[in-house]
Amino acid sequence: MISQVVIIDDEKELTDMYVRSLRQLGATDIVAFNDTREFLKDSDKIDPAIILLDMNMPHQNGEEILEIISQSFPQSSVVMMIEKNETESAVRCLQKGAVSFVVKPVEKDAFAEVILRALEVYKRYSSELQIPSTGRIEHNSFFSNIITCNSKMLEIFRYLNFVSESTFPVLITGETGTGKELFAEAVHKASGQKGSYVAVNISGLDDNMFTDTLFGHTKGAFTGAEKPRRGLVAEAENGTLFLDEIGDLNESAQIKLLRLLQEKVYMPLGTDRNVKANVRIIAATSVNLKNNVKAGKFRKDLLFRISTHCITIPPLRDRKDDIELLALNFYNKALLESGCLMSAALPQGIGDILRNYSFPGNVRQLQAIMNDLAMVTRGRKLNSRDMISFMRRHDINPRTGTKENLSEPFYYAGDFPTIKKMESILISSALNHSKGNITDAAKILGITRQTLHKLLKNLDKTNN
């Protein structure tokens, strides 16, 4: 092990023990701090691959130090050293980007496994980051909740570092479960705005509900409006209003939103007076808004307005280097939350199986898979077989990562069939199902009766 390991722990005896164990693992470059103030003073002199960080320390606790570390040393793998009663803060630290945890009193084998795994994460991470010669990259700790080592994602961070403080809207697009909401929150934090972050999902809101929710109403504005209501725009004053599922916004609500963006005013229900608004809008969608514009469902001028700054989060299958990192984090978090204090490493085979899979539900789906596996394997080591049986339970072929019933509906003993051959098999099978009825067979095949007639004629010709 040639990389530097930094220990931050106020207990000298424990530090000495970690140093001994690390030496046995081959580490030669070890720096220890028994006081967080020393660490902060000398942090420009170190270049850690792994940081062992004690949770409970005087002056500043591990969680606070982690925030500083994620800004100064984003490439380092942080391992939290925790007591049995500190699992809640440990979960928060994993959420903030720590890669793993070790529960005290430290067990030798578990310690070795966690350190070696942390080193692997560091190696993968630092090769992706292309760290400049200073050993630092510009990384905003506001993004530390977003776990990634993928270069496209880091490119997005860099872009957001530039535009977060702008007052113009940000549009976040990406498939379901890619982390759009996480990004919206991070942009708000990075913006430095004093006001609150207010999120609203606007799918399913009709024009009235949209106006009432965002702009509020006066007393007596409509039957049942017994009290005045402050809208979310007012709540997000000097802050951020996050509009989720913006693609579902109906036509008249689109006009009202456009007005809010252009003129920075809105009208609560029951008044005819404009209220001034100072709010930053972030919108998210998993649909293609350009297609919606073409289909006449979304205003072109509104699309221009809301996408002054725009990011597209890549689907998980296009950033396979993130899969293991996220899987390990989710798995450890689920173990901790369930009260199991044994941090885990993912065996090699599991990464291969996961990387093959297409993850239509993206990170959310990976999280659900790891939560499920954590429950199944509580108290023992996770192995590839657990992963394979999980995939089988969900009809996924672990070798190809594809849905078995969709991708391979047919099994053939002989040569792979041609399209022509498949066509004739499909047609005769449909005719079998419909007991020879052409109209029903056409329906099963999803084509018109006339097309089926034509295909049957062609088949006859080739067979004769």
Ligand X SMILES: Nc1ncnc2c1ncn2[C@@H]1O[C@H](COP(=O)(O)OP(=O)(O)OP(=O)(O)O)[C@@H](O)[C@H]1O
Residues in the site for Mg ion, rule: CB under 5 A? Answer: 181
User: Where would I find the H helices in 266-361?
Assistant: 289-294, 300-306, 323-337, 348-356
- Report the residue number, 179 or 351, with the smaller CB distance to ligand X: 179
Residue 179 C-beta: closest distance to Mg ion, Å? 8
Q: Does 146 bind ligand X (CB under 6 A)?
A: yes
Binder to ligand X among 1, 131, 182, 426 (CB under 6 A)? 182
Distance CA 250, CA 94 (A): 39
Calculate helix-pair angle for 438-445, 419-433, nearest 10 degrees: 130
- Report the residue number, 191 or 367, with the smaller CB distance to ligand X: 367
Residue 282 C-beta: closest distance to ligand X, Å? 12
The tokens for 360 are 């239509």
- Report the residue number, 181 or 423, with the smaller CB distance to Mg ion: 181
Q: Does 229 bind ligand X (CB under 6 A)?
A: no
Instruction: Pick one of Mg ion, ligand X, none as the site partner of residue 363 (Cβ within 5 to 8 A by kind).
Output: ligand X
- Report the residue number, 15 or 240, with the smaller CB distance to ligand X: 240
Q: Does 239 bind ligand X (CB under 6 A)?
A: no
Distance CA 16, CA 35 (A): 14
Q: Does 286 bind ligand X (CB under 6 A)?
A: yes
Residue 112 C-beta: closest distance to Mg ion, Å? 39
- Report the residue number, 286 or 434, with the smaller CB distance to ligand X: 286
Burial class (CB in 10 A: 0-12, 13-18, 19+), 20: exposed
- Report the residue number, 181 or 207, with the smaller CB distance to Mg ion: 181
Residue 178 C-beta: closest distance to ligand X, Å? 4
- Report the residue number, 148 or 164, with the smaller CB distance to ligand X: 148
Q: Does 299 bind ligand X (CB under 6 A)?
A: no
**Interacting stretch for ligand X, rule CB under 6 A, among 32-40, 170-178, 298-306, 430-438?**
170-178
**Contact assessment for residue 277 and residue 233, using Cβ atoms and an 8 Å cutoff:** yes
Q: Whose CA is closest to 95, among 116, 73, 84, 80?
A: 80
**Which residue number is nearest to ligand X in terms of Cβ?**
179
* Rounded alpha-carbon distances, angstroms, from residue 391 to 181, 187, 394, 401: 28, 36, 5, 8
Contacts 24+ apart (CB under 8 A), 180-184: 180/244, 180/284, 180/286, 180/313, 181/242, 181/244, 181/284, 182/145, 182/146, 183/146, 183/156, 183/284, 183/311, 183/313, 184/240, 184/242, 184/244, 184/282, 184/284
Residues touching ligand X, count (CB under 6 A): 16
**Residues β-bridged to residue 217:** 229, 269
Query: Considering only residues 343-382, where is the footprint of ligand X by CB under 6 A?
Result: 363-364, 367
Contact positions vs ligand X (CB under 6 A)? 146-148, 174, 176-182, 286, 326, 363-364, 367
